[in-house]
């Protein structure tokens, strides 16, 4: 087996560098074209609602309801989150409001709810 020459190594590094640079630059070069496509615009408009729906369903179904207090706290928190969002149309307000209410309701004794 022969050792590679210095010229061969320099050429190999140059080719690998050009390929790497091209692959990294390609997304920036085609970004404008891709963002104008009808499919991408549709997905871009629907994605936030889809992600929030998936997260909400996952969060609700993954909670282990071990007591009436947790079930009641979760039900009230979901209802308040939906109501806040419908009233104010502010995602951060509804998420933080529902989360805060859930944390408070789970940690308070059931007699205080």
Tens-digit pLDDT string for the chain (113 aa): 789 999 999 999 999 999 999 999 999 999 989 889 999 888 888 888 788 788 888 877 887 878 888 888 888 999 999 999 899 988 889 889 999 999 998 888 766 65
For residue 110, the model assigns a pLDDT of 66
Per-residue confidence (pLDDT) for residue 29, from 0 to 100: 93
Neighbours of 105 (CB within 10 A): 20
- Is residue 102 within 8 Å of 69, Cβ to Cβ? no
State which residues form the domain around 83: 47-112
- What does the pLDDT read at residue 84? 92
Cβ neighbourhood burial of 72 (10 Å; 0-12, 13-18, 19+): middle
Do 63 and 105 belong together in one domain? yes
Q: Is residue 73 part of a domain?
A: yes
- The answer to the question of residue 2 being in a domain is yes
Predicted local distance difference test score (pLDDT) of residue 113? 53
42 assigned to some structural domain: no
């Amino acid at each position: 087996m022969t050792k590679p020459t210095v010229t061969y190594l320099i050429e190999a590094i140059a080719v690998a560098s050009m390929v790497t640079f091209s692959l990294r630059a390609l997304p920036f070069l085609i970004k404008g074209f891709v963002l104008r496509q009808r499919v991408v615009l549709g997905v871009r408009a629907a994605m936030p609602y889809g992600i929030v729906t998936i997260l909400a369903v996952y969060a609700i179904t993954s909670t282990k309801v071990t007591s009436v207090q947790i079930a009641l706290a979760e039900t009230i928190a979901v209802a308040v989150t939906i109501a806040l969002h419908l009233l104010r149309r502010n995602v951060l307000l509804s998420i933080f409001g529902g989360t805060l209410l859930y944390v408070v309701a789970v940690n308070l004794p059931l007699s205080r709810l």
